Amino acid sequence: MDDDMQAMEVRDHEIERLLESYARARLLPDPTATARTRARVMREARLQFEAARIAFHVAPAIARASHRSMIRRVAMPLLAASVWTGIAVGSISAAQAGGPLYSTRMWVENGMLPASGMSRMTAELGRLDVRLAEAYAASVRGDPLAVQAALDAYSFIATEALAAAAGDDALEAVVAAALDNHRAVLTAVAASLAEKGNDVAAAAVEASIQRAIDRNTAVVDRIGSSGAGSGNPNGTGSTGSGNT
Each domain of the chain, given as residue ranges in start order, spans 32-94, 102-229
The average confidence (pLDDT) of the chain is: 73
Indicate the range of 34-38, 90-94, 219-223 predicted with least confidence: 90-94
Quick one: pLDDT at residue 126? Answer: 92
Query: Is there a contact between 158 and 128 (Cβ–Cβ < 8 Å)?
Result: yes
More confident residue, 72 or 226: 226
Cα 106 to Cα 159: distance, rounded to the nearest angstrom: 14
Question: How many residues are recorded in the chain?
Answer: 244
Cα 98 to Cα 96: distance, rounded to the nearest angstrom: 6
Query: Is there a contact between 225 and 176 (Cβ–Cβ < 8 Å)?
Result: no
Indicate the range of 22-26, 81-85, 100-104, 220-224 predicted with least confidence: 81-85
Cα 243 to Cα 234: distance, rounded to the nearest angstrom: 8
Quick one: pLDDT at residue 215? Answer: 83
Task: Give the side-chain half-sphere CA count within 13 A for 88.
Answer: 6
Cα 16 to Cα 13: distance, rounded to the nearest angstrom: 5
